[in-house]
């Protein structure tokens, strides 16, 4: 038996270009390949010959840690630290992120051809979105490197998460937001957590482009998902899903796509479990975009994922209002490696799916509902079959975008009634009769 099987090795990592394969030990401020400027990913050369014993030992260690209250074990990210870059305990910035519920849906299967459907509710993270797992990992790197400022461009959730984790770490956060295109709950969060908020007269893609310049001229650590350490935190959702399913592999995982880091991270997480012999096959990871912001759908359809077709984005699911996604190459690889589908759904389909989730007590924000809308489409196409198990990733909390819900639901409130029990009962009788 190899030593690695008994004592899992501390993971030393390198950064590898996802396009030309160049390997480098450290990255520039923009986390781009020094040769071809494409994105980098974190890899762990020692795993190449770690063997299955290593994988099995990890399963045991991770299970044991679930009973521990130490911050590094209570975190649904750092609990999996053998598969993450090494960070000293004192530099881990954590708030028990991850640890989100996997909820079996009751109504959704009826609309999805009968498949078993579970919702992995990433909106139950500390700031209400999946971003917290990635920000915990990346901001811990920033702390290790001694940064005082962190920054991001955002459609809202990243900014809320960056602001909260920076506050926890005693750092200052700078967030660039597209003016008028961020749901008010997210903007309020960033402000309340103390971020320096700058609203720009452009969209998310424009904000990110400007931030490229800013980080060359101002000493702030970039926390957008160009930063490959973000994906290391976000990939842990794959490990949690497998634990919660007692290591029974789902047939499908369906996730909304915006800047395309989350789908990439999920793909990486499942691929690593596969590589370590912890799962025998990969679930198909499917990516769903809004029809008005569908660059990956067009890219896959029109050139099989070879070169990005950017679009001018428009959707009321503002979290995924992105036309020029940074991680498109990684996402295209996740689709190819797992055999997943890439589809788009209309505004109406998103609204309908969101209302359906709400009606079964599992709220989420509009972008998250794209995953259920996508499942319904994939079931109609026969891509998802009635005897299969599907995990929908719900990326954000329902209260992030209250205006969207009120617009859709406020018509259900009758006009103001007299403050009188009889008026209430008369109204209830009317509602019952109509039901
Ligand atoms: N769902 C929600 C709720 C999001 O906030 C995002 C992205 C996505 C899905 C798409 O994830 O970008 O990894 O493909 N929000 C980013 C932000 C862009 O700034 O908060 P992705």
Cβ burial 327-348 (10 Å sphere, 16+ → b, else e): bbbbbbbbbeebebbbbbbebe
User: In this model, does residue 37 exceed pLDDT 70?
Assistant: yes
pLDDT at residue 246 in the model: 97
Choose the residue to mutate in 178, 185, 197, 262 for probing ligand 1, maximizing ligand atoms within 8 Å of C-beta: 262
User: In this model, does residue 5 exceed pLDDT 60?
Assistant: no
Nearest CA to ligand 1 atom 10: 258
User: In this model, does residue 9 exceed pLDDT 70?
Assistant: no
Cα dihedral 323→324→327→329 (10° resolution): 110
Q: What is the mean pLDDT of residues 404-418?
A: 92
Cα–Cα distance between 259 and 330 in angstroms, integer?
A: 11
Q: What is the mean pLDDT of residues 303-332?
A: 97
Which H or E run includes 155? none
Q: Give the Å distance between the CA of 128 and the centre of ligand 1.
A: 12
pLDDT at residue 323 in the model: 98
Residue 195 has phi, psi (to 5 degrees) of: -70, 155
262 CA closest ligand 1 atom index: 13
pLDDT band at residue 62 under the 50/70/90 scheme? very high
Average pLDDT along the chain? 95
Query: 209-218: which pairs have CB atoms within 8 A and are 24 or more residues apart?
Result: 210/153, 210/176, 211/151, 211/152, 211/153, 211/176, 212/30, 214/151, 214/176, 215/29, 215/30, 215/151, 216/29, 216/30, 218/149, 218/151
pLDDT at residue 48 in the model: 74
Q: Give the Å distance between the CA of 364 and the centre of ligand 1.
A: 13
The SS3 assignment for 153 reads: strand
Choose the residue to mutate in 203, 320, 353, 374 for probing ligand 1, maximizing ligand atoms within 8 Å of C-beta: 320
- 428 by Cβ neighbours in 10 Å (0-12 / 13-18 / 19+) ranks as exposed
pLDDT band at residue 10 under the 50/70/90 scheme? low
Q: Give the Å distance between the CA of 246 and the centre of ligand 1.
A: 28
Which residues lie with the beta carbon below 6 Å from any ligand 1 atom? 129, 131, 154-158, 225, 256-263, 319-320, 365, 367-368, 395-396
pLDDT at residue 3 in the model: 34
Residue found under tokens 């055999």: 339
Q: Give the Å distance between the CA of 57 and the centre of ligand 1.
A: 33
Q: Give the Å distance between the CA of 406 and the centre of ligand 1.
A: 22
pLDDT per residue over 163-201, tens digit each? 999 999 999 999 999 999 999 999 999 999 999 999 999
Q: Give the Å distance between the CA of 162 and the centre of ligand 1.
A: 13
Cα–Cα distance between 296 and 309 in angstroms, integer?
A: 7
pLDDT band at residue 152 under the 50/70/90 scheme? very high
User: In this model, does residue 84 exceed pLDDT 50?
Assistant: yes
Q: Give the Å distance between the CA of 319 and the centre of ligand 1.
A: 5
User: In this model, does residue 286 exceed pLDDT 50?
Assistant: yes
pLDDT band at residue 12 under the 50/70/90 scheme? confident
User: In this model, does residue 278 exceed pLDDT 60?
Assistant: yes
256 CA closest ligand 1 atom index: 9
pLDDT per residue over 103-117, tens digit each? 999 999 998 899 999
Q: Determine which of 21-30, 192-201, 257-266, 282-291 has the lowest per-residue pLDDT on average.
A: 21-30
Residue found under tokens 């039901």: 435
Cα–Cα distance between 107 and 375 in angstroms, integer?
A: 13
């Amino acid at each position: 038996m190899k030593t690695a099987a008994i004592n899992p090795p501390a993971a030393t990592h390198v950064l590898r270009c996802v396009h030309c394969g160049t390997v480098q030990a450290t990255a520039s401020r923009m986390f781009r390949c020094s040769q071809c400027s494409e994105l980098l990913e974190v890899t762990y050369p020692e795993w190449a010959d770690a063997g299955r014993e290593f994988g099995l030992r990890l399963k045991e260690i991770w299970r044991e840690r679930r009973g521990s209250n130490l911050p590094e074990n209570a975190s649904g990210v750092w609990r999996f630290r053998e598969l993450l870059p090494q960070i000293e305990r004192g530099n881990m910035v954590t708030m028990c992120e991850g640890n989100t519920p996997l909820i079996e849906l009751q109504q959704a299967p009826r609309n999805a051809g009968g498949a078993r459907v579970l919702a992995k509710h990433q909106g139950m993270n500390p700031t209400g979105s999946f971003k917290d797992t990635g920000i915990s990992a990346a901001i811990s790197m920033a702390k290790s490197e001694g940064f005082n400022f962190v920054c991001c461009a955002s459609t809202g959730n990243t900014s809320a998460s960056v602001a909260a984790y920076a506050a926890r770490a005693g750092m200052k956060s700078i967030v660039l937001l597209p003016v008028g295109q961020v749901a008010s709950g997210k903007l309020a969060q960033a402000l309340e957590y103390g971020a320096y908020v700058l609203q720009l007269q452009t969209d998310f893609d424009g904000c990110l482009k400007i931030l490229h310049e800013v980080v060359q001229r101002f000493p702030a650590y970039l926390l957008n998902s160009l930063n490959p350490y973000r994906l290391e935190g976000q990939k842990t959702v794959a490990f949690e899903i497998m634990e919660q399913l007692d290591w029974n592999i789902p047939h499908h995982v369906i996730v909304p796509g915006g800047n395309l880091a989350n789908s990439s991270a999920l793909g990486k997480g499942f691929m690593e479990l596969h590589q370590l012999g912890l799962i025998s096959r990969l679930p198909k990871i499917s990516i769903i975009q809004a029809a008005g912001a569908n660059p990956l759908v067009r890219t896959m359809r029109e050139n099989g994922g070879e070169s990005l077709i950017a679009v001018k984005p428009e959707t009321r699911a503002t979290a995924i209002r992105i036309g020029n996604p940074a991680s498109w190459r990684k996402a295209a690889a996740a689709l190819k490696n797992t055999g997943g589908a890439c589809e788009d759904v209309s505004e109406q389909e998103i609204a309908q799916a969101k209302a359906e989730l709400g009606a079964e007590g599992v709220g989420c924000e509009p972008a998250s509902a794209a995953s259920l809308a996508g499942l319904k489409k994939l079931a109609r196409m026969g891509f998802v079959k009635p005897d299969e198990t599907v995990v929908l990733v719900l990326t954000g909390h329902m209260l992030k975008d209250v205006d969207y819900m009120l617009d859709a639901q406020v018509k259900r409130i009758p006009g103001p009634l007299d403050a009188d029990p009889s008026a209430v009962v008369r109204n209830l009788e009317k509602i019952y009769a109509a039901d």
